[in-house]
Amino acid sequence: MTAPRTIGIGILGLGTVGQGVWKHLTEKKADLEARLGVRIDLRGASVRNLRKRRAVRIPSSRLTSDPHAIVDDPKVHVVCELIGGTTRARELTLRALRLGKVVVSANKALLCEHGPEIFRAVRRHGGQFLFEASVAGGIPIIKAIREGLVANRFELIVGILNGTCNHILTRMGEDGLSFADALKEAQELGFAEADPTLDVDGIDAWHKASILAWLAHGKWAPRNRTLVEGIRKIGPADIDFARRFGFALKHLAVVRRDFRQNWMTVGVYPALVPNRDILARVSGVNNGITLKGDVVGATTLAGRGAGGDATASAVIGDIVDAIAALTGAAPQGLSAEALAAREKSGRALRMADEEEIVAPFYLRLSLLDQAGVSEGVYRVFSRHKVSIARVIQYEHPNQGRGTVTLSTYPVNERRMAAVVRGLKGLRTVLEEPVVLRIFSPES
Ligand code: NDP
Ligand code: HSE
């Protein structure tokens, strides 16, 4: 059989995640097609309520209230299940798998509760079930365990796996919000589950921890052998204690494995995490996961754990893997044609000029200890229109020199180089200025 050159994608559910997938898949379609050497046909989406207003504009001809119309469409090869829950989602997932299709899912509840049945259907009918988006939103943790870290056995996987809980704990701790207000905010931002008790009672994190435990160790952790605690009991006094004594309060999922005794534990609970631990600094909707592998050591991945855009990133990653598998295209766009297409677009790409590279700077100057020296330095900055943000002066009595450290507002490299040349030309600047860039992700 020849591999299809047009791959049809159908989406079940156009809520927070479904709309993110529609938007970004539409925007990235041409680029993905060039990388994969395949045409992508975004055939349509099913919703419950056709009249609902949606943030993403979708032609009405592409919408249906009948999910079977998507699943059964012979031109749909990849079905994205973004409905949630375990009833309708299970029925539609199994239906698609029985037709031999690929199902891409963000549904951790479904996988955790019906994983064995789903994978039986995959084996029997030759389809695939991909679920990167089910754990930790946009962080490619499933791929990391399956592929990049495949050489490892993991004695510990510990993570912040629920964006809603982390958002609530951060907003309560840093901004003094009440639990109820912080939860309402997480719901408005699209982070929370349709039933938010799944988030705040720890069930969602348990689903995700079980998936990671199964991936890493091949065993589904039974609910009655897992410690599952949520965050409802956390109050301002707990957060205050943590802050005073060098901890952050985090909702953790912990999977431990003892390879000698051959046991595993899975637990989900709020915990005091020492500030020196990288997970203590994972805040807001972000998730973070530290994996302790016997080969790689401790590796931490962090990033947005919920929300339409981050989750769409993971779903689209799975869609691309599905297309590669269906068409025989090299994964990650590494075919000779894909690389040639990439190089072609790279030829039009230029390197930024010095004027376009902007950052705030830090300078240390060794200056002659003499009246009026500072004015001469400031004149150089103002001649080149560079604004100073902060200054500290250190005196060194009886040495005839002083040290000045200062930072600037963002300035481009060319202007900063002119300032440094000007400073070096001053008789009162005694040594080569020390110049460092102040890193900022925005500049
Ligand atoms: P939403 O509630 O925002 O969207 C659900 C969509 O499914 C809606 O379009 C809804 O239709 C449709 N739908 C709901 N019930 C039915 C039904 N019985 N039959 C047919 N269609 C139905 O959910 P999310 O987008 O937030 O979540 C979707 C999935 O992704 C869930 O499994 C969730 O756990 C998972 N997930 C969510 C993340 C997030 O940040 N929100 C992150 C990672 C995973 P209508 O719009 O007409 O009501
Ligand atoms: N409700 C989930 C969370 C969505 O807040 O983490 C991402 O799985």
Q: What are phi and psi of 219, to 5 degrees?
A: -135, 135
* Strand partners of residue 264: 257
205 Cα nearest atom in ligand 2:
6
- In this prediction, residue 35 carries a pLDDT of 85
The token pair at 349 is 């790409």
- Residues 6+ away with beta carbon under 8 Å from 304: 137, 138, 139, 163, 285, 286, 287, 310
Cβ–Cβ < 8 Å for 77, 8: yes
State mean pLDDT over 287-292. 98
* pLDDT > 90? residue 342: no
305 close to ligand 2 (CB < 6 Angstrom): yes
Angle separating helix axes 336-347 and 16-36, nearest 10 degrees: 90
pLDDT cut 90: percent of the chain above it: 87
Q: Which residue has the higher pLDDT, 351 or 387?
A: 387
> Using only C-alpha atoms, what is the Rg of the chain?
27
- Give, for ligand 2, the residue of 204, 283, 309 to mutate: max count of ligand atoms closer than 8 Å to Cβ: 204
Q: How far apart are the first and last CA of the chain?
A: 51
pLDDT in tens, 294-335: 999 999 999 999 999 999 999 999 999 999 999 987 666 566
State mean pLDDT over 203-232. 95
CATH number corresponding to 5-136+309-345 = 3.40.50.720
* Residue 419: closest CA among 370, 371, 385: 385
Q: Tell me whether residue 231 is exposed, middle or buried, using C-beta atoms within 10 angstroms of its C-beta: 0 to 12, 13 to 18, 19 or more.
A: buried
Architecture of the CATH domain 141-304: 2-Layer Sandwich (3.30)
Given the residues 52, 75, 108, 208, select the one marked as catalytic.
208
pLDDT in tens, 382-417: 999 999 999 999 988 888 999 999 999 999 999 999
Mean pLDDT value across the chain: 94
pLDDT in tens, 254-272: 999 999 999 999 999 999 9
The closest residue, in CA terms, to atom 4 on ligand 2 is 306
199 Cα nearest atom in ligand 2:
1
User: Could you give the CA distance from residue 324 to residue 29 in angstroms, rounded to a whole number?
Assistant: 15
Q: How far is the CA of 98 from the centre of ligand 1 (A)?
A: 22
Minimum-distance ligand to the CA of 163?
2
Minimum-distance ligand to the CA of 12?
1
Cβ–Cβ < 8 Å for 25, 322: no
State mean pLDDT over 119-132. 96
State mean pLDDT over 5-14. 97
pLDDT in tens, 56-105: 999 999 999 999 999 999 999 999 999 999 999 999 999 999 999 999 99
User: Could you give the CA distance from residue 17 to residue 318 in angstroms, rounded to a whole number?
Assistant: 14
Cβ–Cβ < 8 Å for 63, 74: no
User: Could you give the CA distance from residue 209 to residue 242 in angstroms, rounded to a whole number?
Assistant: 24
- In this prediction, residue 405 carries a pLDDT of 94
Cβ–Cβ < 8 Å for 284, 305: no
* pLDDT > 60? residue 111: yes
* Residue 85: closest CA among 68, 105, 67, 104: 105
- In this prediction, residue 334 carries a pLDDT of 61
pLDDT cut 70: percent of the chain above it: 96
State mean pLDDT over 193-199. 97
Cβ–Cβ < 8 Å for 136, 285: no
pLDDT in tens, 16-45: 999 999 999 999 999 999 888 899 999 999
Token match 């309060």: residue? 249
Helix (H, G, I), strand (E, B) or coil at 118: helix
Residues in the chain: 443
Domain spans of the chain?
5-136+309-345, 141-304, 356-438
* pLDDT > 70? residue 116: yes
* Strand partners of residue 42: 9
- In this prediction, residue 397 carries a pLDDT of 80
Find the angle CA(153)-CA(122)-CA(219) to the nearest 5 degrees: 30
* pLDDT > 60? residue 141: yes
Write down the CATH superfamily of domain 356-438. ACT domain (3.30.70.260)
